[in-house]
Structure 1
Amino acid sequence: MAGLNRLYLGILYAMAGIAGAMLVWLMISVVVSVTMRNLGLQPFAWLFTSSEYAILYMTMLGAPWLVREKGHVHIELVTAALPGPARRIVSRTVAAICVAVCAMLAWKGGELMLTNIARNDLDVRAYYFPKWILTAAFPVSFGLMAVEFARFVFGDDLLHSGEAGIHE
């Protein structure tokens, strides 16, 4: 079980690392594109397309890690006003709703990816690019987010700390 947990964490952190690398790529591609335009040159066609794909993948690949680290945005105003037992119930209920939503989005994302494969859908911009490669991120990322939110439903740790304000 410990080996499976290490493998899972390795995948989660690798996805976050790839998302971080894509953020760096976005910065580079924007700087190169703007520089080329300012020099009167036409930016490469693949430059803009790769930036769009990177935005999608960066978001999807980094999201499960953000859930694990409680790095997503949420408001603690209500949970801070609740007593401990009520806060635990509210926090676990919110996490359970998040599990349900993420599981549904993973399912629908999987259906979309399979439809893209069956239809041989292509994203036609700079190049002909199979759409399933883009939509494959949905079932994987939302599935892992469902797993991570489930940790807050069934584990010892709560999604909400009950502390309003910024605590860094």
Structure 2
Amino acid sequence: MFRLHDAVTRAMFILGAIALLGIVGSYLVEVVMRYVFNAPTLWSGSAVAYLLAVSAMLGMPELARTSGHIAITMLEDRMTPARRHSHRRQVAALTAAICVAAAWMVWTETVRQGQSGTTTALAVRIPKVWISAVITYGFTNTALYYLRAALWPASLPWDTAPRQEV
């Protein structure tokens, strides 16, 4: 089950990277249209904002899975290995709860948007429920990884991954 979860997360991470390419493309089109043809686009700013949300939410679970987030470990580094392990599990449980709360709030908004038929302000009208669903996915899947870290820490490479010094 964990392997399937990890595979889906990696696939969504790749889609998030493709969304970043969409951001670059949107900016490129905007720059060319604005400075070469003196005809700025009306849609590129909104497209970048939506693609950034999609990219961040599709990438967030992979960072949780690999412990790729930025961490200030000054306190943790002074703990005994047993205490550090316990501390990481407690922090993971708290973070999972916060992500579940965020996912619930976004999900209720997603349902409301679906019922009202709200769309984006882009030239091609996209239902906002799609973007909100991706945000819900991001928080829900991240919560699952933190729950895994709290309950089954051996299922993730957190305790074995070396910390990089800055």
Q: TM-score, normalised by structure 2?
A: 0.86
Partner AA of 2:72 in structure 1: I
CA distance in 1: counterparts of 2:23 and 2:57, whole angstroms: 15
Is the CA contact 2:66–2:157 (under 8 Å) kept in the aligned structure 1? Answer: no
Secondary structure of the equivalent of 2:43? helix
- Residue in structure 2 matching 1:33, options 30, 33, 38: 30
Structure 1 residues 146 and 23, CA gap change in structure 2 (3 angstroms):
same
Is the CA contact 1:63–1:141 (under 8 Å) kept in the aligned structure 2? Answer: yes
CA distance in 2: counterparts of 1:22 and 1:55, whole angstroms: 7
Question: Is 1:46 the counterpart of 2:40 in the alignment?
Answer: no
Partner of 2:79: 82
Structure 1 residues 132 and 164, CA gap change in structure 2 (3 angstroms):
closer
CA distance in 2: counterparts of 1:142 and 1:119, whole angstroms: 23
Structure 1 residues 88 and 79, CA gap change in structure 2 (3 angstroms):
same
Which segments of 5 or more consecutive residues in structure 1 lack a partner in the other structure?
none
- Residue in structure 1 matching 2:62, options 65, 77, 90: 65
Structure 1 residues 50 and 34, CA gap change in structure 2 (3 angstroms):
same
Structure 1 residues 26 and 123, CA gap change in structure 2 (3 angstroms):
closer
The count of residues paired between Structure 1 and Structure 2 equals 164
Question: What root-mean-square deviation, in Å, do the aligned CA atoms of Structure 1 and Structure 2 show?
Answer: 2.3
Structure 1 residues 39 and 51, CA gap change in structure 2 (3 angstroms):
same
Structure 1 residues 162 and 10, CA gap change in structure 2 (3 angstroms):
closer
Secondary structure of the equivalent of 2:71? coil
Question: Is 1:16 the counterpart of 2:13 in the alignment?
Answer: yes
- Structure 1, residues 46-96: CA drift from partner, whole Å, max 9, x if none? 333222211010000110011101111111111001111221121111101
Q: TM-score, normalised by structure 1?
A: 0.85
Partner AA of 1:48 in structure 2: G
Partner of 1:93: 90
Deviation at 1:15? 0.6
